[in-house]
Amino acid sequence: MTDAGAQAVQAAAPLVTIRGLHKAYRRGPETVDVLHGIDLDIPRGDFVALMGPSGSGKTTLLNLIGGLDSPTSGEIAIEGERIDRMSAGQLSNWRSRHVGFVFQFYNLMPMLTAQKNVELPLLLTSLSAAERRRRAQIALTLVGLAERRAHKPNELSGGQQQRVAIARAIVSDPTFLICDEPTGDLDRQSAEEILGLLQELNRDYGKTIVMVTHDPRAAEYATRTIHLDKGELVDAPAVPH
């Protein structure tokens, strides 16, 4: 195949390919089966809302896609790379290059300013201090918080803290973002601002986003909604094997 042909195939391939994914947790002598055979493709540029009842396995599936955990069996390929076969060390390296994380409770470092929190992922790179500062400022400007960069988390509202967390998630220009109930702790107006910001990152900057939510109004911001129930996808489109 020509280089151009190979590139075309690469571009057409889904960003995330999941086949026969199983996850079981050990709890003492018991095994708890959480995901039983998930097949899913996520194209590049999608903004996917993953919905389902509490305990249906949403966080488990999201963490597997983000390489925070490894499956019991089955395949997860991201851009053709099999992350299910990676060692913990390889996975952590892969994560730092490819995934931005946004959680319900922000997970900011309380003693650091917004600016320093956003710079954190860049400490793992070889960028100079000046370049880290510059990139963090760009990310904070993008989320509308340039003026608050010297503030610490407890000097910011919940919505502002989540925007700092989003700036931290995008500062290293990851391949995709995973967001677990990113508006679960916010009032309606702050939630809409955060969802609008995620939508802008998807539409205007082409970021692929996978977001867990149990709020149907939050899901409306996504380009596609998939439903998980008791560890299985409901009404998911068939994927090729």
Ligand X SMILES: Nc1ncnc2c1ncn2[C@@H]1O[C@H](COP(=O)(O)OP(=O)(O)O)[C@@H](O)[C@H]1O
Instruction: List residues binding ligand X (CB under 6 A).
Output: 25, 27, 32, 34, 52, 54-60
Q: What is the smallest separation between the CB atom of 239 and ligand X, expressed in angstroms?
A: 21
Rounded CA-CA distance 75/152 in Å is 41
Task: Report the residue number, 124 or 234, with the smaller CB distance to ligand X.
Answer: 234
Question: Rounded to the nearest whole angstrom, what is the least distance from the CB of residue 59 to Mg ion in the complex?
Answer: 3
Q: List CB contacts of 117: < 8 A, sequence separation 6 or more.
A: 108, 109, 153, 164, 165, 168
Q: In 10 A of CB 141, how many CB atoms?
A: 13
219 binds, among Mg ion, ligand X, none (CB under 5 to 8 A by kind): none
Which residues here bind Mg ion, judged by CB under 5 A?
58-59
CB of 55 or CB of 80, closer to ligand X: 55
H helices present in 99-237, as ranges: 114-119, 129-142, 158-170, 188-205, 216-219
Nearer to ligand X, 49 or 170 (CB): 49
Question: CB of 199: closest distance to ligand X in angstroms?
Answer: 22
Closer to ligand X at the Cβ: 32 or 124? 32
Which residue's CB is nearer to ligand X, number 62 or number 142?
62
Neighbouring-strand partners of residue 208: 176
Provide the token pair at 19: 């086949």
The token pair at 85 is 């076969």
CB of 102 to Mg ion, least distance (A): 13
Least separation, in Å, of the C-beta of 164 and ligand X? 24
When CB distances are held under 5 to 8 angstroms depending on the partner's kind, the choice from ligand X, Mg ion, none that residue 55 binds is ligand X
Q: Which residues of 76-97 are buried (b: 16+ CB within 10 A; e: fewer)?
A: bbbeeeebbebeeeebeebbee
